[in-house]
Chains A and B, each alone.
Chain A
Amino acid sequence: MTVEKEEVTVTVNGESHVVSVEPRELLSQTLRERMGCTEINIGCESAICGACTVQSDGKSVKSCTRFTVQADGADIRTVSDLADEGTLTDIQQAFTDEHALQCGYCTPGIVMAVDEYLDHNTDPSREEIRNEALQGNLCRCTGYENIVDAVETAAEKLD
């Protein structure tokens, strides 16, 4: 089956791109393979693990479960866009301080999800952090305890 390619305009970390893609091309592939955004990690490929999380128009989404054509006109941010010339954001600094990662594969996705979550809920309980903020992400190293600590610390700093 030959299919027509679709032209998609997408802004990634502040830079506008026009790409011609097969409709089946995934946003995660476009970002990694065409734009070099290898900070997006591919885990389960099925909307469960959240390692590929980016923000699309300020909302976190799993980029492995979006077709690039669905991102036409969208403003995409990856974790690389958070730090300001090497100065980490409060969330990133809290992850460092609380040792909230071991292998680090899940971290970029978690940071992007938490970044959105703390915009809506500035003072979450530990239960809310587990059941809401981290619900869409899996970590297979830490057992989550230090991640919850880091989100708590970040929320305190953001107040």
Chain B
Amino acid sequence: MHTEQFSYHRAESVEHAVELLETSDDARILAGGQGLIPLMKKRELTPDALVDITQIDELRGIERTDDTIRIGGLSTHREIADSALLKETAPVIPRTVAHITGGQQVHNVATIGGNIARAHPGYDYEGALLSAGSQIVVSGPAGKQRVPVSEFVRGPCSTTLAETQLVTSIEIPVLSGDRRGGYAKKKEPASGNAIVGVATDLLFDDDQSTLVKSARIAVNGLQGCAVRLDATENKLEGKQLTPDRLEAAAGDASSSLDSSAVLDNKKASAEYRLCLLEPQVQKSIRQAVGERTLYSQT
């Protein structure tokens, strides 16, 4: 199955990529191609030109700079899932990536930049990035910009990215303490995408403490954009985590949500998605809590 014809350009630097995007009428970025190529085969996208950015070394690598973790836009799912630095400093990200569909063949080449630029509600990354407080770094003719992920994604498969911009990296703030992550997901069986995916980013003082210093929990797949679960977070933050409190917090998950914005389509009805929320929130928090012992309140 062919795609339509297009011209192919290999960018040597971010500036060169932006230049190439500016000089073509309808150009798209080619990174891993795992989202793009199937869409082009189906003629859902028919760009005149593709700008291959995979030779740009500055878009690679995962490193820590002072109080920020920088994930290069070309980092593959495989590199992120295996990153010791991320497991330590922002564990919700690698936990989530392990759930992305497609198998190791896709994880070997698909990139975080491509995934978030696609902004598909079922693609798992958005909730995790939101829970971790991430900024999307984009470059374009006007230079570099940092956009919080909550502003970057406008709706299903829609972002603020202009046609002449590309995602160059993702930045995640470093928090001091014992940071734990979890991700629980109900898959749509055919595609493997999330019907509901819950990302949990919890902060404790140390690996024995059960006092939740901060809780950031976000769900993707439920609405057009990933959303934070404010009511659940409020029930946990600043409190001793007990089994009862965990269940009560999960039970409140939908209370702060606009239920009229819940996706209702052939993949899953809105009612079904809402039913899945509470158990997935529980599972996700439990995964983040890990081995620590939760004592009942007396």
Interface residue from B3, B33, B108 paired with A60 (Cβ < 8 Å): B108
Q: Does B243 contact A (CB under 8 A)?
A: no
* Shortest distance between the CB of A64 and any CB in chain B (Å): 8
Chain B 91-111, CB-CB to A under 8 Å as 1, else 0, gives 000000000011111101100
Chain B: residues with Cβ within 8 Å of the partner, total of: 28
Q: For B4, list chain A residues within 8 Å (CB).
A: 1, 24
Chain A 99-128, CB-CB to B under 8 Å as 1, else 0, gives 000000000000001001100000000000
A132 to B78, CA, bound (A): 12
Q: Does B1 contact A (CB under 8 A)?
A: yes
Q: For B48, list chain A residues within 8 Å (CB).
A: 1
* Shortest distance between the CB of B38 and any CB in chain A (Å): 4
A60, closest chain B residue (CB): B105
Whether the Cβ atoms of A47 and B7 lie closer than 8 Å is: no
* Shortest distance between the CB of B98 and any CB in chain A (Å): 8
Interface residue from A24, A69, A136 paired with B52 (Cβ < 8 Å): A69
A109, closest chain B residue (CB): B105
Whether the Cβ atoms of B33 and A66 lie closer than 8 Å is: yes
B141-199 residues with Cβ-Cβ distance < 8 A to A are 191
Overall SS of chain B's interface: loop
A100 to B42, CA, bound (A): 33
B100, closest chain A residue (CB): A135
Interface residues on A, range: 20 to 34
A113 to B105, CA, bound (A): 7
Whether the Cβ atoms of B104 and A3 lie closer than 8 Å is: no
Q: Does A137 contact B (CB under 8 A)?
A: yes
Whether the Cβ atoms of A132 and B104 lie closer than 8 Å is: yes
Q: For A133, list chain B residues within 8 Å (CB).
A: 104
B38, closest chain A residue (CB): A46
* Shortest distance between the CB of A147 and any CB in chain B (Å): 14
Given A23-B6, A70-B54: A61 touches B108 (CB 8 Å cut-off): yes
Whether the Cβ atoms of B103 and A45 lie closer than 8 Å is: no
* Shortest distance between the CB of A118 and any CB in chain B (Å): 11
Whether the Cβ atoms of B3 and A50 lie closer than 8 Å is: no
Given A1-B5, A65-B38: A136 touches B105 (CB 8 Å cut-off): yes
Q: Does A41 contact B (CB under 8 A)?
A: no
Q: For A48, list chain B residues within 8 Å (CB).
A: 102, 191
Q: Does A144 contact B (CB under 8 A)?
A: no
Q: Does B34 contact A (CB under 8 A)?
A: yes
Chain A 68-83, CB-CB to B under 8 Å as 1, else 0, gives 0110000000000000
A9 to B274, CA, bound (A): 52
Q: For A6, list chain B residues within 8 Å (CB).
A: 8
Whether the Cβ atoms of A45 and B105 lie closer than 8 Å is: no
Extra contacts, 8 of them, besides A3-B7, A48-B191 (Cβ < 8 A), are A4-B7, A45-B1, A50-B105, A65-B33, A67-B37, A69-B8, A136-B104, A137-B103
B-side interface residues toward A, CB under 8 Å? 1-8, 30, 33-34, 37-38, 41-42, 48, 50, 52, 54, 101-106, 108-109, 191
What 4 pairs across the A-B complex have the smallest Cβ distances? Answer: A136-B103, A23-B8, A135-B103, A46-B38
A-B contact pairs, 13 of them (CB 8 A): A1-B5, A1-B48, A3-B8, A23-B8, A24-B4, A46-B42, A47-B38, A65-B34, A65-B38, A69-B8, A132-B104, A135-B102, A137-B103
A-side interface residues toward B, CB under 8 Å? 1-4, 6, 22-24, 26, 45-48, 50, 53, 59-62, 64-67, 69-70, 113, 116-117, 132-137
